[in-house]
């Protein structure tokens, strides 16, 4: 059984790209996610403005989420 971590890369406000990564043996999806994704504080965030206070990225591309599945 192998695990596949798929990052949901946001390419525009209305579209996304799925980017799969094979999880190395002995590593969990969460551990690989932590190695691939980094976080940046949102400079436009203000309390109550409806924006998130932190944004996630992979290779300078915004990440909207991730999936983990076994094959």
In sequence order, what are the residues at sequence separation of 6 or more whose Cβ sits closer than 8 angstroms to the Cβ of residue 24? 32
Quick check: helix, strand or coil at residue 53?
A: coil
3-state class percentages of the chain: helix first, strand second, coil last, to nearest 5: 10, 50, 35
**Mean pLDDT for each 10-residue chunk of the chain (71 residues)?**
96 96 96 97 94 95 96 86
């Amino acid at each position: 059984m192998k695990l596949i971590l798929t990052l949901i890369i946001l390419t525009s406000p209305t579209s996304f790209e799925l980017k799969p990564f094979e999880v190395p043996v002995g590593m969990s999806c969460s551990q690989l996610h932590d190695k691939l994704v980094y976080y940046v504080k949102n400079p436009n965030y203000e309390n109550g403005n409806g924006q998130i206070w932190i944004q996630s990225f992979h290779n300078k591309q915004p990440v909207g989420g991730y999936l983990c599945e076994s094959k």
